[in-house]
């Protein structure tokens, strides 16, 4: 399993006022194992408004968004 880490950054506009919060989920390099190729990358990007629309839709239709194996 590849370890991951969240990277957060605040973007500033021309007048040095914070305008955008950005977040990235990145793979930790130190967890690579010999013989496994990590050529494919995945950068999930979600707009907050899209998440706000998805949650009520999933609730009404009974779609499972998360599966937790215990």
Q: What are phi and psi of 36, to 5 degrees?
A: -105, 130
CA dist 4 and 30 (Å) reads 10
Does residue 17 fall inside a structural domain?
yes
- Domain span including residue 29: 4-61
Contact 8, 22 (CB under 8 A): yes
Does residue 66 fall inside a structural domain?
no
Task: Please state whether the predicted TM-score (pTM) of the whole model is above 0.75.
Answer: no
Contact 31, 38 (CB under 8 A): no
Q: What is the mean pLDDT of residues 18-28?
A: 80
Does residue 67 fall inside a structural domain?
no
Does residue 25 fall inside a structural domain?
yes
Highest mean pLDDT: which range of 6-15, 26-35, 52-61: 52-61
What is the pLDDT at residue 48? Answer: 80
CA dist 23 and 6 (Å) reads 7
Does residue 45 fall inside a structural domain?
yes
Helix intervals (H) in the chain:
48-61
Q: How many domains does the chain have?
A: 1
What is the pLDDT at residue 22? Answer: 84
Highest mean pLDDT: which range of 5-9, 21-25, 58-62, 66-70: 58-62
């Amino acid at each position: 399993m590849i370890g991951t880490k969240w990277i957060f950054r605040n973007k500033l506009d021309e007048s040095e006022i914070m305008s955008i919060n950005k977040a990235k989920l990145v793979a930790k390099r130190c967890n690579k194992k010999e013989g496994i190729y990590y050529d494919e990358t995945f950068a999930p990007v979600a707009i907050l408004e899209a998440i706000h629309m998805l949650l009520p839709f999933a609730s009404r239709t009974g779609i499972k968004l998360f599966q937790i194996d215990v």
